[in-house]
Amino acid sequence: MPFRAPINRPVPLAAAAAWLIFLSCNPGPDAPTPRGMVTGTTGAQAIEGGVEILRAGGSAADAAMSTALTQICMAVGSWVSYAGLMTMVYYDAESGEVHNLNAAYNTVAAETDPLTIPGIDLSAGLGAFEAEPNGRTVLVPGFMKGVEAANERFGKLPFQDLFAPAIACAEDGFEYQAGNAGQYAYREPVLSRLPETKAVFTKADGSPYEAGDMFTQPALAETLRMVAEQGADYMYTGPWAEKLVALVGDIGGRMTVEDLAAYEVVWSEPARGSYRGFDLYAHGSPAEGGVGLIEAMNLAELAGVSDYGHYGDSAEALFWLTQIARPGLTFAIGGKQAADGIAAMIGADLTHETRVRQETSAKLWGAIRDGSFPGVVVPAAAAPHSDAVVAIDQWGNIAAVVHSINTVSWGTTGIFVDGISIPDSGIFQQGMMAQIEPGSRLPDPTNPGLVLRDGKPFMGFSSIGSGLHQRTIGGLISVLDFGLTPREAVDKPALGSFSFSALAQGASGPAAQEVGVGDYPPEFIAEVEAMGQPIEENDATRGYWIAITIDPETGELHGASIRGLELGGRAVGY
């Protein structure tokens, strides 16, 4: 009999690895087609827990939420947090409709002058994410409210059942990885600032945990148990919320318990577009990521990029995709002033609603093609961590999810509240915060999404990393234009991203596109540079993409996650 884990306990990593080999995310001719599948960017233990939720009769939403809960436990709140953000695009098989859940950060109502929040200089790169702790950088979290809302609307299991794998992860522990230890070493001064936080990462004798140790989080286990029993309001009203507000206030924060109690999940229309006969759905307004993705795919179709061949093999395709990937980032980073200037230049109203239209993209493409769009070049003659989850259940429902702290390695507050890390996600978003009403939803760059073909679900996808926008574009083109499987698409070279310093310096000039070290041969890079686009090899701004495809006729599933990350992305069917 194949290995099966009880729903109330996560699978040990070694057992999960054996189970993955047995199942294979791409079944052979004699292997049964999986009834459902979960893929995620990290956490074999978390992903197997999500599969157990599917086996127990849970929906895709249930499996995705449970996986995300356990991913945070395994990250020890570093790159994802229960006090972070979460977004989801969901296909409901019964109605055939696509829904968009926005549980991103709210700003603090009393934060009326966000431009005075102490921040960082993005041009200094990742090293800039070191600063004195300041409570004004803490935003109102949405993750746990999002988990509850997804379960209430699309769940088939009780809310508390989703927490069983995460509680077991915190209570029974997991094997501490070298990556966990390395992140702690990077942030040790911050994580040692408060006794409660230091206790999370040190043993009884005061020494830090080392790779190979069993790492338990008893305070977190108790908090998760209380949320499972009492609902998400446990974190948004009462003693937990009061403790968070007090600790943030101790370092200058303006958050109140009213900010937390007033938080509500937003259900909105997904961003929608089309690409060569496929219907695309992505995370909707007020977020930026989904709009930027639809816009970029419009531009790729207008440019006929794939006519040159796959971007991993064609210098011309890589060159033009590099130019196409910039506009959405320009608006997201440059904000309203940059968007207004470009709108005047091309004679179009660049609202979220108009940016997804092909006629607007045609005007943008004209400016890109002739070199008048800021920051792009025409050919010469001769890049915060997150986690992503995609789940498909036995009924054909699909959940595409991103959750994140949207900062680097816990951030700089050094605050843990009863086992839950509190990030400093406002430390570099002051400009965006200044453009919205205090206390309202902060636009986010995430872009989980779905693809339908002839009205039937074809693919769910998600992405993380500072290069998530470019990686998603490359993944979609690989599957939709070239018929690659998710595994083949993920294994193709990353399209690349722009460094933090390039983004901070604005759109002027041909900023270097940063690609993964060794992803492209030197002669290929030289060919692109000869066309006028500088290339630098740097893994720091890499994006990561995951996906599951479903054959509309046979129901066969193919899924893939990234390779090489220590905590292990996986695609697991059952």
Q: How confident is the model at residue 540 (pLDDT cuts 50, 70, 90)?
A: low
pLDDT at 287 over 60: yes
Which pTM value belongs to this model?
Answer: 0.87
Give me the pLDDT at residue 462, please. Answer: 92
Give me the pLDDT at residue 349, please. Answer: 72
The stretch 413-441 carries a mean pLDDT of 93
Give me the pLDDT at residue 10, please. Answer: 31
Give me the pLDDT at residue 361, please. Answer: 77
The stretch 296-315 carries a mean pLDDT of 90
Give me the pLDDT at residue 432, please. Answer: 85
C-beta atoms surrounding 381 within 10 Å: 6
DSSP codes of every residue in 7-24: TTSPPPHHHHHHHHHHH-
| Least confident span in 61-65, 349-353, 529-533 | 349-353
Q: How confident is the model at residue 337 (pLDDT cuts 50, 70, 90)?
A: low
Q: How confident is the model at residue 368 (pLDDT cuts 50, 70, 90)?
A: confident
Phi-psi region of 375 (alpha: psi -120 to 50; beta: other; left: phi over 0): left
Q: What are the angstrom distances between the C-alpha of 333 and each of 32, 287, 289, 347?
A: 46, 13, 11, 21
Residues 103 and 479: beta-carbon distance below 8 Å: no
The stretch 284-296 carries a mean pLDDT of 85
pLDDT tens readout for residues 57-77: 999 999 999 999 999 999 999
pLDDT at 20 over 50: no
Give me the pLDDT at residue 208, please. Answer: 93
> Which one, of 447, 299, 409, lies nearest residue 360 by Cα?
299
Per-residue tokens: 332: 């997201």
**pLDDT higher for 17 or 311?**
311
The stretch 195-217 carries a mean pLDDT of 94
How far is Cα of residue 31 from the mean position of the Cα atoms in its chain? 32
Please give the span between the terminal C-alpha atoms of the chain, in angstroms, as a whole number: 13
**In angstroms, rounded to a whole number, what is the distance separating the alpha carbons of residues 305 and 310?**
8
pLDDT tens readout for residues 118-143: 886 555 454 545 678 999 999 999 99
Residues 6+ apart with CB under 8 A from 304: none
C-beta atoms surrounding 160 within 10 Å: 16
pLDDT tens readout for residues 478-490: 999 999 999 999 8
Buried b (16+ CB within 10 A) or exposed e, 192-209: eebeebbebbbeeeeebb
pLDDT at 110 over 60: yes
Q: How confident is the model at residue 320 (pLDDT cuts 50, 70, 90)?
A: confident
Give me the pLDDT at residue 321, please. Answer: 84
> Which one, of 39, 42, 38, lies nearest residue 465 by Cα?
42
Residue type, 457: P
Residues 277 and 283: beta-carbon distance below 8 Å: no
**In angstroms, rounded to a whole number, what is the distance separating the alpha carbons of residues 76 and 420?**
8
